[in-house]
């Protein structure tokens, strides 16, 4: 049984959802799954189309597969390339999904519904350029995403986050994603019973993947992470800055495709920013 609290809602998500984002922020819950955010057959048909025509969208390589187009994490000083790719991606992504199923507008409508009275925006760069609203992540068979918290990456002192953290506070980051294609086995989001603060506190403020492993190994009984089942077309939002998580190895011959990004908050907590 999972010791993480993930709430689930069925479409059209009207009941008790008004300030889910606030509940996540106050750490009353760990995550939320919106079942049937998009019809599974639509999400999957878009994945099939992209897999059959991989070059219709600009992409970059990453250790476990490929990314359409590029996330801010790891961009370093190449922000010009990031913003250029972000622009191209937005247009390509609008072509991939029919207007009726435009992922970004679906997402924005949902976020408006669950963010209390906050505004919902894609952040804009120093010259007014938009950050990428989302990206598509391709994990190839045999690939996996190693344990991490987004807090490992989202540091104002890193060159790629310097500007963003003038707009957004540094303490809270959520992740969101919708699976478009899933493998025969594996490729699951796993949440550990370990928070960033705890691992940080117990390792002299030097949180890293290396001392995460040491820390987990020292806890004899609680090492098995909680598997979260997110189906094709469902959307999950979870407290990825705080909770150590990973994606288990993709087994079989089919890749895993997800579309998603991150959420953070303006310093005055009046605006929800989503981007990737």
Ligand X SMILES: O=C(O)CCC(=O)C(=O)O
Q: Does 137 bind ligand X (CB under 6 A)?
A: yes
Regarding 194 and contact with Fe ion (CB under 5 A), the answer is no
Under rule CB under 5 A, residue 240 binds Fe ion: yes
Neighbouring C-beta atoms of residue 78, cutoff 10 Å:
14
| CA 102 to chain centroid | 18
User: Is residue 132 part of the contact set for ligand X (CB under 6 A)?
Assistant: no
Cβ 229 to ligand X shortest distance, Å: 13
In this structure, what DSSP letter does residue 98 have?
-
**Which range touches ligand X (CB under 6 A), out of 4-12, 195-203, 212-220, 240-248?**
240-248
Q: CA nearest 26: which of 271, 273, 270, 239?
A: 239
Judged by CB under 6 A, the chain residues 256 through 275 that form the site for ligand X are 258, 260
In a 10 Å sphere around its CB, with 0-12 CB exposed, 13-18 middle and 19+ buried, how is residue 158 labelled? middle
d(CA 195, CA 206): 14
18/231 with CB nearer ligand X: 231
76, with CB counted inside 10 A (0-12, 13-18, 19+), is exposed
What totals of helices (H) and strands (E) does the chain contain, helices first? Answer: 7, 16
Torsion of CA 71, 106, 130, 167, to 10 degrees: -80
* Closest to ligand X by CB, 215 or 262: 262
Nearer to ligand X, 18 or 106 (CB): 106
Residue 181, contacted partner among Fe ion, ligand X, none, CB below 5-8 A by kind? none
CB of 127 to ligand X, least distance (A): 28
Asked if residue 240 binds ligand X (CB under 6 A), the reply is yes
Beta carbon of residue 152, minimum distance to Fe ion (angstroms, whole number): 9
Return the one option of ligand X, Fe ion, none that residue 247 interacts with (CB less than 5 to 8 A, by type): ligand X
Q: Closest approach of Cβ 29 to ligand X, in Å? A: 16
Q: Which of 50, 247 has the CB closer to ligand X?
A: 247
Encode burial over 127-147: b for 16+ CB neighbours within 10 A, e otherwise: eeeebbbbbbbbbebebbbeb
Q: Does 145 bind ligand X (CB under 6 A)?
A: yes
Query: Is 50 among the residues that bind Fe ion (CB under 5 A)?
Result: no
Contacts to ligand X by CB under 6 A: 137, 145, 150, 175, 177, 189, 240, 245, 247, 258, 260
């Amino acid at each position: 049984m999972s010791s993480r609290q993930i709430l689930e809602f069925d479409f059209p998500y009207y009941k008790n959802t008004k300030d889910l984002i606030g509940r996540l922020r106050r750490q009353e819950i760990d995550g939320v799954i919106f079942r049937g955010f998009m019809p599974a057959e639509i999400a999957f048909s878009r994945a099939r189309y992209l897999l059959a025509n991989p070059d219709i969208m600009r992409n970059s390589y990453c250790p476990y597969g490929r990314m359409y187009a590029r996330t801010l994490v790891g961009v370093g000083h190449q922000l010009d390339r990031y913003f250029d790719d972000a622009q191209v991606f937005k247009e390509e992504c609008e072509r991939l999904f029919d207007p009726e199923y435009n992922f970004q507008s679906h997402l924005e409508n949902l976020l408006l519904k669950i963010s209390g009275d906050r505004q919902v925006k894609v952040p804009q760069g120093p010259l007014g350029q938009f950050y990428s609203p989302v990206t598509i992540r391709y994990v190839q068979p045999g690939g996996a995403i190693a344990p991490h918290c987004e807090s490992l990456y989202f540091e104002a002192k890193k060159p790629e986050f310097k500007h963003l953290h003038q707009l957004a506070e540094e303490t809270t980051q959520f992740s969101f994603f919708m699976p478009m294609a899933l493998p025969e086995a594996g490729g699951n989001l796993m949440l550990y019973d370990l928070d960033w603060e705890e691992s940080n506190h117990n390792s002299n403020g030097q949180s890293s993947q290396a001392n995460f492993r040491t820390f987990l190994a020292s806890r004899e009984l609680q090492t098995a992470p909680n598997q979260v089942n997110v189906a094709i077309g469902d959307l999950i939002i979870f407290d990825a800055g705080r909770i150590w998580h990973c994606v288990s190895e993709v087994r079989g011959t089919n890749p895993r495709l997800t579309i998603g990004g991150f959420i953070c908050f303006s310093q005055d907590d009046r605006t929800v920013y989503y981007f990737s």
